[in-house]
Amino acid sequence: MMIIRKALIRQGHRIAIAPARSWTRALATEVDIASIESSLSNSLRDTKSIELQVQNETIKLVPQIDSRTQSTQNLLEDNTAAKYTQLQQHKKLTNPLGSRIAPHYQPHFLVNDPPRPSDITLELLLASQAHLGHKTSHWNPMNSRYIFGIRQGIHIISLDVTASHLRRACRVVAGVAERGGLVLFVGTRPGQDRCVVKAAQMAGGCHLFERWTPGSITNGHQILGNCRTKVVDEYDREITGYDEELRDRPVLKPDLVVCMNPLENWVMLHECGLNAIPTIGIIDTDANPTWVTYPIPANDDSLRCVQVIAGVLGRAGEEGQKSRREKAMHGNVTYTPSTLATGVSTKGGRTGRSGEDIRGLQ
Amino acid sequence: MEASELTHDETFAQQGVGKMLEPESYITAWRDYQGYLVDRLNRLTADTKDFTRPTKDIALEYARSPTHASLFNHASIAWNNHSFFSTLSPTPSPISPLLTSKLSTSFSSIESFRATFLATANAMFGPGFVWLVKRDNYNSNTPDTTELAILTTYLAGSPLPRAHYRKQEQDMNTELQAGAFGPRSGKDPKMAPGGAMVEPMLCVNTWQHVWLHDYGFGGKREYLERWWDSVDWDVVERNGQFDSMARKPASQGGSRFNLSAGRR
């Protein structure tokens, strides 16, 4: 409850001081340097005076006077942080009193603190409605191996099959991330943006939650040609000086694509197939399992189920990244670095392989 | 929700609470009563968002709502009862030097603090709680503005600042003065007692069901004196949060998705 007292110092009504200028029209073709210099100094003087004006008229905080001690409040001593910590401690002491709340579903935890591959249980998948398929008349018979049975007119997906396919997909994502691969997480239905972005952040990859532009892979140089690319070493530090080489390189393609709604993104999955990019996708009972390399038979219509799967795959990517970084610290580079143009760059940048020059081993 | 587990529950159920309560009385006052309160709370909050909310939050939300008076009462009493039992221990620690200095500053001495506290609790007619609270006194002449005080709450009154509307500090049947200059003079009939920023540290439960079985109707004084000897003053000091050093709250261990690994 701080009272901000505004200290406005009026400088009078003059906003600009008219400089004493002499404008001589130069009729000659030669440029008069003296007049340019004088006009430059005049305009600098103008700017400085306006700056002074603005500074003097901005709101300045005047410290409060404490009624008890009649001393002024020291604005450098800000105890907001201490008070906040005290409040948090007070809450920690007093909130658990009274009764014990059993673990229950809290939607934001699925996005902010997703489960790990070790947390995959049939109970979690059942609670997330992963077993609910579509009407029996809408099925794709290729999915019969994933279906447990029929209840109330819909197909029920076998959760043990879901769990095993999901664990396999986790191993794939972790393996790709561990080898320095780029994973693209795609989820274009409303509400899937948050979990897809979080998963991409954890796995160090890319995300897409708007419509896939057809041709982003097959016509990449046209559609994604203006995207910035960078060169990094095995410690993920950016190395500068490769601008010319990067200009000639083809546009980046993902090394793995994880799709939350394959039915809407069939174009993207087809492009991935043409370019030998492996794909992971949530296959509902009406989807085509051959569209993806590693299907995960689950319910793609339940946002909770999608958040669980995206979260788990993101966590797997996070583990892969961590493993890769740890190995790099011990001198074990888990991938074959791209060879860039050898020879001395005209800008004096580094040459040859990325990491070895830095460590001076070459 | 379920009844919480006390740290010394097993010891109390077998040996009683020091010399204060017999084992059967402890089981009545804690296990049976708290279980009953939590069961009532579950019934009142079934199929609502409050079903998974902490008890304290329920009490704070419904303190101002006459239509949810029953919900407030049960939540407040559950919180108060747990606070009471959390400060008891089979091997209570004595008052530490830090706490002694704080109490002596506020109450002139430990003996006078004890006498005042027990006399206040004894004088209350009817069930309730008596609290030791910590608050900031901005008008004090010393540089340290924290002060300890005694607060009474009748029936299911709450000492929490945000539930001040239902503090129930006074016995409404005796303290009300219908006069021209009293607090109930009618000039501001709808004004609620103001809230004060206090932090509850310690409490004694004067509800009859706690002491009636062991002491009889005339044994309230003796119950209070024996309760004093069972108080774990380390817990009280921790509740007071006297240290100003900022500490990070400890991170929660275990996975919240692994339901079989026990409760948070």
Chain segment B200-227, per-residue pLDDT in tens: 999 999 999 999 999 988 899 999 999 9
User: Does the residue A31 lie in any domain?
Assistant: no
User: Does the residue A134 lie in any domain?
Assistant: yes
CA–CA distance, B3 with B22 (Å, rounded to integer): 21
Contact A116, A314 (CB under 8 A): no
Q: What is the pLDDT of residue B184?
A: 56
Residues 149-208 of A with CB under 8 A from B: none
User: Does the residue A270 lie in any domain?
Assistant: yes
The verdict on B1 touching A (C-beta cutoff 8 Å) is yes
User: Does the residue A41 lie in any domain?
Assistant: no
The verdict on B152 touching A (C-beta cutoff 8 Å) is no
Q: Find the angle CA(A292)-CA(A293)-CA(A298) to the nearest 5 degrees.
A: 60
Out of B81-85, B125-129, B257-261, least confident range: B257-261
More confident residue, B153 or B257: B153
Of the ranges A243-247, A346-350, B220-224, the best mean pLDDT one: B220-224
Q: What is the pLDDT of residue B195?
A: 64
Residue type, B97: P
Question: Where residue A184 sits, what CATH number does that domain have?
Answer: 3.40.50.10490
B212 contacts: CB under 8 Å, gap ≥ 6: none
Chain segment A85-111, per-residue pLDDT in tens: 888 988 999 999 999 998 889 999 999
Mean pLDDT of A262-267: 98
Beta strand A256-259 with A279-283 is parallel
Backbone angles phi, psi at B55, to 5 degrees: -60, -40
Mean pLDDT of B48-61: 94
Instruction: Check residue B111 and give left, alpha or beta (phi > 0: left; psi -120 to 50: alpha).
Output: alpha
pLDDT surpassing 90 at residue A142: yes
More confident residue, A228 or A291: A291
Closest CA to B41 of B57, B28, B25: B57
User: Does the residue A337 lie in any domain?
Assistant: no
User: Does the residue A276 lie in any domain?
Assistant: yes
In three-state secondary structure terms, A346 is: coil
pLDDT surpassing 60 at residue A223: yes
Scanning the structure block, which residue is given the tokens 């041709």? Answer: A215
Q: Give me the domain span that covers residue A179.
A: 107-217+253-332
Contact A89 B5 (CB under 8 A): no
- Burial (CB < 10 A; 0-12, 13-18, 19+), residue B162, is middle
User: Does the residue A119 lie in any domain?
Assistant: yes
User: Does the residue A288 lie in any domain?
Assistant: yes
pLDDT surpassing 80 at residue A351: no
Alpha helix stretches (DSSP H) within chain A: 33-57, 80-94, 107-112, 122-127, 159-178, 193-203, 220-223, 243-248, 266-274, 303-329, 354-359
The verdict on B84 touching A (C-beta cutoff 8 Å) is no
Which of B1, B75, B244 faces A82 most closely, judged by CB atoms?
B244
Strand order in the sheet with B146-154: B146-154, B128-136, B198-205
Contact A81 B256 (CB under 8 A): no
CA distance B258 to chain A (A): 6
Q: Which residue of chain A has the CA closest to B52?
A: A101
Count of structural domains within chain A: 1
Alpha helix stretches (DSSP H) within chain B: 9-15, 23-26, 33-44, 55-61, 69-86, 97-107, 110-123, 172-175, 208-215, 220-230, 233-240
Share of chain B above pLDDT 70, in %: 83
Closest CA to B68 of B140, B156, B6: B156
Contact A90 B53 (CB under 8 A): no
CA–CA distance, B239 with A90 (Å, rounded to integer): 8
Mean pLDDT of B57-62: 96
